Structure 1
């Protein structure tokens, strides 16, 4: 048997930066420049991106990335879909949410929290039951060796019966016996 030579793994090449902005940014620029009243369609956005950005000549690959970016944009709220579902239909820019202004407050030094003093119970109120202290469990003693069990012997018939059994007569037979 001969050992197969082990192939050395190629060093991972660093990913080169793209020559175009993010798809979300390209979509936003395309929608604003198209200025369509009801929203811009995916096909119109694709044509604008292919003409104005350096994304390559493969329209199918750009379309696939565009579909995913449109779906993500709608899910995040950056885009609003005016018609259709998924990646089809018309798209508009979502409402920009105003960034909440951060108000810087002066922090007060924290003081240790004090426990509230218990109020004495009123005359008519019941006092809460005090918890019982848990009893310490006794340590288990080591188990003794199990004794060998004796072989079972058949029981004698008379040993079990300590009281003699009395038969109850049925009421009909009792009446017949009295007569």
Structure 2
């Protein structure tokens, strides 16, 4: 007679990895804070990066801890066309809002 081999035991199911997501902080993003600061400024030549950081710090944002985020936000706002860089290179120099007509053309309004 032919012997039947017992079926191998099923492998134990792996436990699903738990994603440890941190809850998002309530409040506006860094980009929104920068846009509000620049829009509120009445300076003709724009707001310098140092003045932006001081305004963010005065508003309760920890600039020293989040220097990289501030730099990245400034660069991305310039790349999107929300801000225009009047002086400097990269995330340094002075920035002002683009004229309203230019923003409408970009967004298609």
The answer to whether the aligner puts 1:11 opposite 2:18 as a matched pair is yes
Using the TM superposition, give the Cα deviation of residue 11 of structure 1 relative to its aligned residue in structure 2, in angstroms: 2.7
Can you give the 5+ residue segments of structure 2 that lack an aligned partner in the other structure? Answer: 1-14
The answer to whether the aligner puts 1:79 opposite 2:83 as a matched pair is yes
> Aligned partners of 1:9 and 1:50: how far apart in 2?
41
RMSD: 2.2
> Aligned partners of 1:36 and 1:63: how far apart in 2?
24
Misfit runs of 4+, over 4 Å: none
Secondary structure, aligned partner of 2:73: helix
Classify 1:43/1:9 alpha carbon distance in 2 versus 1 (closer, same or farther; 3 Å): farther
Instruction: Count residues in correspondence.
Output: 91
Can you give the 5+ residue segments of structure 1 that lack an aligned partner in the other structure? Answer: 1-7, 102-179
The structure whose residues are more often helix, as a share, is 2
Normalized against structure 2, the TM-score is what? 0.69
Report what 2:66 is aligned to: 62
Secondary structure, aligned partner of 2:57: helix
Q: Is the 8 A contact 1:79 1:93 kept in 2?
A: yes
| Higher relative contact order (CA closer than 8 Å, sequence separation 6+) | 2
Of structures 1 and 2, the larger Rg is shown by: 1
